[in-house]
Amino acid sequence: MPKADEKPLPVSSSTAPDFPPEQERLFREVLQVLNQGGIPYVVSGAFALQKHTGIWRDTKDLDVFLAAQHVPQALECLINDGFECSVVDPVWLAKAHRGDFYVDLICGMSNAVIIVEDSWIERGMPTEIVGVPVRVLAPEELIASKLFVTRRERFDGADIAHVIYGTRGRLDWERLLHLAGSHWEMLLWSFILFHYIYPAPSSYVPRHLWQALLQRLQDELANPDPQAKFRGSLVDENMFAIDVHEWGLDNLVDACRDQRQPKLVAPVNTACPIAAKERKVS
């Protein structure tokens, strides 16, 4: 049970939240501004989850995914419309807000392993949010965006399981493998969690995919690479901080973040500041 001064944790439900009128107006205005500015984007977060699973999640923010090269133009459009904007983390996150509500402009995950590309926007699914025609993130990209949300304070494994269950496994599995890339173990881990949660419909993950990934795992276990780098910081840089800072193991998260290009920058000739780094899990 939460303490008296703690906010209760969300409980999954199909009941739509009762968004305050000012929040709906802000969401509508943001989407209209981006549409009018010709910004290529997709909506993710609570709205994408609802589209693919039927689950509603109360949210104060609107998650917009776009490629990094389009963020400055999006910020400029929003600034010109009166929003206060900041580049919170040049690797992946900018924000625009007015009052108590805000929009997150996201171009990847904080560990810089999963990166939003133009193809994510092109594959978006047409829908309508607060009366505005938009695209929401396709289920494959939604799963990919959640593979590394594995921190102690937030874990999106349930969301991934719900997307697989909600789509009845009607997914482009080759696309999902491509998005996971060399981090396929994180995908296999998600499949195993899905099988544990939903043992009866585990066939929603195709048998050939199970066989291929399990065979790949067996091959790696049989032939371990003695030069393979420690990857714990990509999963949670805080929980695995001791491995890096005291045990001398690889700091891949910093290496990946340093290599991430392009970095987000504020639009030229605006008052949009670059804030200090903030590692918020999307």
Biggest CA–CA distance in the chain, Å, is: 59
Give the separation between CA 145 and CA 153, rounded to whole angstroms.
17
Percent of the chain with pLDDT over 90: 82
Could you tell me which residue, 192 or 13, shows the higher pLDDT? Answer: 192
**Does the residue 102 lie in any domain?**
yes
**Does the residue 200 lie in any domain?**
no
Two tokens, residue 79: 């600034």
**Does the residue 92 lie in any domain?**
yes
Query: Each residue of 109-152: pLDDT tens digit?
Result: 999 999 999 999 999 999 999 999 999 999 999 999 999 999 98
* Residue 276, C-beta contacts closer than 8 angstroms, at least 6 positions apart: none
The domain total for the chain is 1
**Does the residue 250 lie in any domain?**
no
Radius of gyration of the chain measured on its C-alpha atoms = 20
Query: Each residue of 54-89: pLDDT tens digit?
Result: 999 888 889 999 999 999 999 999 999 999 999 999
> DSSP class of residue 240?
T
**Does the residue 144 lie in any domain?**
no
pLDDT for 277 = 38
pLDDT for 240 = 97
**CA-CA distances (angstroms) from residue 248 to 113, 187, 245?**
22, 27, 6
Query: The CATH number of the domain where 59 resides is what?
Result: 3.30.460.40
Contact present, 86 and 273 (Cβ < 8 Å): yes
pLDDT band for position 279 (50/70/90)?
very low
**Does the residue 190 lie in any domain?**
no
Q: Which domain holds residue 41?
A: 1-137+262-277
Order of all β-strands in the sheet with 84-89:
84-89, 93-98, 101-106, 61-65, 42-43, 132-136, 125-129
pLDDT for 60 = 82
What's the first-to-final CA gap in the chain, in angstroms?
25
Mean pLDDT of 84-104: 93
**Does the residue 60 lie in any domain?**
yes
| pTM, two decimal places | 0.92
SS3 of residue 140 by DSSP:
helix
pLDDT for 4 = 58
Contact present, 250 and 244 (Cβ < 8 Å): yes
pLDDT for 6 = 64
**Does the residue 6 lie in any domain?**
yes
Two tokens, residue 35: 């549409």
Give the separation between CA 87 and CA 94, rounded to whole angstroms.
4
Per DSSP bridges, beta strands 61-65 and 101-106 are parallel
| Average pLDDT value for the chain | 92
Contact present, 17 and 56 (Cβ < 8 Å): yes
